[in-house]
Amino acid sequence: MKDFEKSIIPGITSFNGKGWKRKLMEVEKLGITRVGLFLEEIDSRNNNELFDLLLKSNIKEIPLVHIKESTTCEDINFLIKNFKSKYFTIHESDFKNLEKWKSLYKKLFLEMNFDDYVSKNVKVKKIGGFCIDLSHFKASWDLITDDFKYVIERKNFKKYFKCNHLNGYSYKENRDLHRINSLKNFDYLKSLPSFIFGDVIALEMYNSISEQLKFKKYIVKMLG
């Protein structure tokens, strides 16, 4: 049985480039030592400041990092060396320029979309596996999209399912939610198959760290 108390971690996120410093301050105040890091909406020009603040923080481990096109091998190796980072998550579109991370292929994990399109460039066997975004999977499942089929056809390859992004889900709009207003936004998790849950599940939402911890408590109880 999966230990969701251990596997679910709060996430350092940003909205339009803002909010990540405030979350780092919360992490310090709450004495949290293990988090996920989402670089996608953090301006790359702030990387030096971000990395410096991480080094000065209480954070000891960042097992999952959502990287972006501008993330370098140097950035990745810094996080591996200083924070034991294991899972670096990418988008389908990143396969067009995957060569820039060639020495790190097996540390990359694919986040599928739910737009009913999978490019021929996408080859999960080249990298470490999937980072199943749980709300994306739910939205794809409801529509039986090509994204869903790409994942489900590989469900027996346990080695591919190592990590996740976890956010809310809207039944009305059949899509992901990154600003959570109700605990009911997590109830979709009960309907998901067990094989997609990995060893590290990072909360990906704009809510504060203290709110994320409350959400985690609810989710752990619900799935436990």
The pLDDT, as a whole number, for residue 119 is 96
In order of 33, 142, 192, the CA distances from 172 in angstroms are 36, 12, 18
Q: Please, what's the largest Cα pairwise distance for the chain?
A: 46
Looking up tokens 């009911």 gives 184
Question: pLDDT of the chain along its 224 residues, tens only?
Answer: 799 999 999 999 999 989 999 999 999 999 999 999 999 999 999 999 999 999 999 999 999 999 999 999 999 999 999 999 999 999 999 999 999 999 999 999 999 999 999 999 999 999 999 999 999 999 999 999 999 999 999 999 999 999 999 999 999 999 999 999 999 999 999 999 999 999 999 999 999 999 999 999 999 999 99
pTM: 0.97
Alpha-carbon separation of residue 93 from 8, 115, 120, 133 (angstroms): 26, 12, 11, 15
pLDDT at position 83 is 99
User: Of all residues in the chain, what percent are helix, strand and coil, respectively (each to 5)?
Assistant: 45, 20, 35
| Cα 167 from Cα 24, distance rounded (Å) | 19
pLDDT number for residue 43 = 92
Output DSSP code: residue 128. Answer: S
Q: Please report which residue ranges of the chain form alpha helices under DSSP H.
A: 4-7, 20-30, 47-56, 73-83, 134-143, 146-152, 209-223
- pLDDT score, position 1: 76
Question: Could you tell me if 198 and 161 are in contact, meaning their C-beta atoms sit under 8 angstroms apart?
Answer: yes
For domain 4-223, give its CATH number from 3.20.20.150, 3.60.15.10, 3.40.50.300, 3.20.20.70. 3.20.20.150
pLDDT at 37: 99
Judge whether 122 and 92 are in contact, CB under 8 Å. Answer: yes
Give domain limits for the chain.
4-223
**Whether 30 contacts 4, CB under 8 Å:** no
